[in-house]
Amino acid sequence: MAKYIGKRVFYMIITLFLIAVLTFVLMKILPGSPFDTERFEKLTPQQQQEALAKYDLDKPIYVQFFKYITDMLKGDFGTSFYYTKMPVTRVIFSRIGPSMLVGAQAILIGLAIGLSLGIIAACRHNGFVDNLTMIIAVLGISVPNFVAAALLQYYIGLKLGWLPVGFWESWACSVLPSLALCVQPLATSARFIRAETLDVLQQDYIVTARSKGMTQARLLLKHTLRNSIIPVITIIGTMVVNLLTGSLAIESIFSIPGIGGLFTDSVKNNDYNVIMGLTILYSFMYMLAILITDIAYSLVDPRIRIAAGKGGD
Amino acid sequence: MMFKCKEKFVPAKPVEAPADLPADLFEAAEQNSSDLEYIARKHHSALYDGWIRLRKNKAAVICAVILIVITLFAIFAPILSQYTYFDTNYKAKLKPPSIEHPFGTDQFGRDQWTRIWYGTRISLLIGLVAALLNLFIGVIYGAVSAMIGGRVDAIMQRIIEILVGVPHLIIVILFMMILPPGVGTIVIAMSITGWVNMARLVRAQILKLKNQEFVMAAKLLGTSGWKMIMKHLVPNTVSVIVIQIMFAIPSAIFTEAFLSFIGVGLAAPKASLGVLINDGYKMLRAAPYMLIYPALAIILIMVCFSILGDGLRDALDPRMKH
């Protein structure tokens, strides 16, 4: 196990390095510069030189790259071009709080509703709740989250006026974005737990327990759920990945000062350093989520044991 | 293997002829070895088998029909419409849905009916082309990796292991920033890491097949490498590929819509569902119908692909669970 994790971490580092190289190259060949072209051209050549030197933009590419990588290893991603004089790390860290709040709420609401719906659906197989759950699951997985967010904003925020939208002042502002983000975890977990529970309910020991006269509630709590709920940890990684990408659109829709909105804003503002820092951060979280999922898989189901995690080997 | 048993059946122990039937009335049936291999029923390909199973899944069939209808509308509605997707008419701007403009008009007076069907056309096109490109790269990569094996396979798999860690959407956004906006660009950007899943699936499937008895038997019987690929490996991998495509198309449609929504996708006056949703979102207070109709269109397409994809998976690969 330790060897496996070590190997995976090694790959993570290579991937991160490649992403760092890629983002660096992409940013260098990007059209447009962090400086306002019109105003930049009005400067005297010497001032231009100073402005470039301030951000090391006058040095040869490989020097810039080497400096970028070594600084990055020290945890320094340079300064933001847009939020003047703010180090990228500070810009990013000041934005993590709202993202974490919304993300955690979304996962908790999604899991709570999704798991309950899925379990009820499995117990009443082919009943009303089951059909409803399946409809919700299909909708939740297929409706793009930014569409759901835009519709929620219109119907609940604007038309009914129940919850505030478009600013970030109190906890109430985080409710709608959390709801929009929870759709996917809800659908995924409902579908997953339903299939797992249906599977467990068909096992011989359930039939035995039932024939011994065990009550439905006891059967469910003592025998079924214990076995069907553990595998849920294997999908949490997928959920986190979905949240990471989902936050990109949803945070800008609801004007949340989080890292997802920061990324989309920086893309629009050509704020290279912030984009590079966020790309590394996102990639790191993404890879961490996948790694944890793979480890969880092998812990939950000893039959899979790493072999599957190797990538189809 | 099927026997044509009734006439040709030769019992292991000769049965004693009844007394009233003299033995010389009987004669031993001729045994023809080629008849033993006779297959009474017509041969069905794996795909046809899957189709038979799929037909029984009503929801999937309905979704397939809806998708076909949507595709037809996407192709013909913009042609048959009296408006174009780019012509502005400032006398008729922000008109709510009416008989003249079934889905209303936008802030430039462009007919939303035409724009939505045109956008659907672009979205479907992007989904299809991106899925096919992923299929092309993924199948070749996966097949080469599995067929050659050894060190080549090891290296190719290490490359894949590095690529799976790359967050798809983020990298696509970065590429969209440097490439000029357009349908081709979006497809290319999405294909940079999009083929990895397909390659992994195809490789896993071929590796699985390579170790199965019928392939070993074919090898033993001296089947040539090319015939082996075309006759045994490809037909048994098609179902995996078809299922993967059915999930790749909606995923590409989603990615395109997402890119256009955050403003790095297609540029005006071109329209895709993502562009239309973005436009509608900006005009949400003044003209909610501008958001609702494209949103419904993309939801309908995604739901149909999802149900059809699940149906196809059940039909083509019955051994696979949910």
- Domain locations along chain A: 95-272
Q: Does B291 contact A151 at a Cβ distance shorter than 8 Å? A: yes
Structure tokens at A219: 């059967």
Q: Which of B231, B233, B232, B276 is nearest to B256 (CA)?
A: B276
Min Cα separation A34/chain B (Å): 14
Residue range A186-209: mean pLDDT, rounded:
88
**Residues of chain A positioned with their CB less than 8 A from the CB of B162:** 11, 14-15, 18
Across residues A265-285, what is the average pLDDT? 84
Instruction: Say whether residue B288 is in contact with chain A using an 8 A CB cutoff.
Output: yes
Mean pLDDT of chain A: 81
Q: Measured between CB atoms, which of B163, B170, B321 is closest to A279?
A: B170
Q: A284 CB contacts (<8 Å, ≥6 apart)?
A: A12, A16
Interface of B with A in 22-81 (CB under 8 A): none
Q: Is A21 on the interface with B (CB under 8 A)?
A: no
Residue B206 pLDDT > 60: yes
Contacts of A139 in chain B (CB under 8 A): 299, 303
Digit-coded pLDDT (tens) for B133-174: 999 999 999 988 988 888 999 999 888 888 887 888 888 888
Residue among A31, A28, A23, A30 at smallest CA distance from A55? A28
Side chain identity, residue A249: A
Least confident residue range of A78-92, A136-150, B87-101 = B87-101
Q: pTM of the prediction?
A: 0.82
Residue B4 has pLDDT above 50, yes or no: no
Mean pLDDT computed over every residue of chain B: 83
Give the percent of chain A with pLDDT over 90: 7
Interface test with A, best of B58, B161, B164, B301 (most A CBs within 10 A): B161
Lowest mean pLDDT among B40-54, B151-165, B169-183: B40-54
The answer to whether residue A103 scores a pLDDT higher than 70 is yes
What residues 188-217 of chain B have any CB closer than 8 A to a CB of chain A? Answer: 200-201, 203-204, 207
State whether A248 and B161 contact (CB < 8 Å).
no
DSSP H helices, B19-95, are 33-36, 46-55, 58-80
Q: What is the phi/psi pair of residue B111, to 5°?
A: -70, 120
SS3 A199: helix
For an interface test with B, give the residue of A147, A160, A282, A284 to mutate (most B CBs within 10 A).
Answer: A147
**CATH number assigned to the domain covering A95-272:** 1.10.3720.10
Portion 85-144 of B in contact with A at CB < 8 A: none
Q: What is the pLDDT, as a whole number, of residue B318?
A: 63
Q: What is the CB-side half-sphere exposure of residue A281 using CA atoms within 13 A? A: 22
Is B46 buried (19+), middle (13-18) or exposed (0-12) by CB count in 10 A?
A: middle
B288-294 CB contacts, 8 Å cutoff, 24+ apart: B288/A154, B289/B96, B289/B97, B289/B103, B289/B104, B289/B112, B290/B104, B290/B106, B290/B112, B291/A150, B291/A151, B291/A154, B292/A151, B293/B97, B293/B103, B293/B104, B293/B112, B293/B116, B294/B116, B294/B119
Chain B CB within 8 Å of residue A132 CB: no
Which residues of chain B are within 8 Å of residue A30 when distances are taken between CB atoms? 177-178
Residue pairs between chains A and B whose CB atoms are closer than 8 Å: 122
Looking at the complex, does the CB of residue A304 fall below 8 Å from at least one CB of chain B? no
Please report the pLDDT score of residue A307 as a whole number. 46
Q: Which residue has the higher pLDDT, B181 or B12?
A: B181
Residue B296, chain A, CB below 8 Å: the answer is no
Among B247, B241, B213, B214, residue whose Cα is nearest residue B316 = B241
The partner residue sitting opposite B306, judged by closest CB among A19, A141, A253, is A141
Q: Which residue of A has its CA nearest to B163?
A: A15
The string of pLDDT tens digits covering residues B227-253 is 887 788 877 888 888 888 988 999 999
Report the C-alpha gap between A297 and A293 in whole angstroms.
Answer: 6
C-beta atoms of B169 and A245 within 8 A? yes
- A12 contacts in chain B (CB < 8 Å): 165
Contacts of residue B307, defined as CB under 8 A and 6 or more positions apart, other chains included, come to A138, B59, B60, B63
Q: How many CB atoms lie within 10 A of CB B112?
A: 27
pLDDT band at A26 (very low <50, low <70, confident <90, very high): confident
Query: B 214-273 residues with CB below 8 A of A?
Result: 250, 254, 257-258, 261-264
Q: Give the C-alpha separation, B91 to A3, whole Å.
A: 70
Q: Residues B278, B259: contact at Cβ < 8 Å?
A: no
B284·A158 Cβ contact <8 A: yes
A153/B277 Cβ within 8 A: no
Query: Using CA atoms, how far apart are residues B230 and A126, in angstroms rounded to an integer?
Result: 42
- Angle, helices A61-73 vs A2-29, to 10°: value is 140
Q: What is residue B264's predicted lDDT score, i.e. its pLDDT?
A: 83
Contacts of B263 in chain A (CB under 8 A): 264, 267-268
Nearest chain A CA: its distance from B100 CA (Å): 26
Encoding tokens for residue B65? 């029909």
Query: Mean pLDDT across the stretch A160-166?
Result: 74
| Nearest-angstrom CA–CA distance, B177 and A268 | 9
Q: Residue B299: which of A143, A158, A195 has the nearest Cβ?
A: A143
Q: What is the structure's pLDDT at B1?
A: 41
Q: Whats the size of chain B, residue-wise?
A: 322
A229: Cα separation from own chain's centroid = 22
Q: What is the pLDDT of residue A261?
A: 86
The residue behind tokens 């060190």 is B151
Nearest by CB to residue B261, choosing from A23, A146, A245, is: A146
When mean pLDDT is compared across A140-144, A154-158, A174-178, B89-93, the lowest value belongs to: B89-93
Residues A273-278 have a mean pLDDT of 84
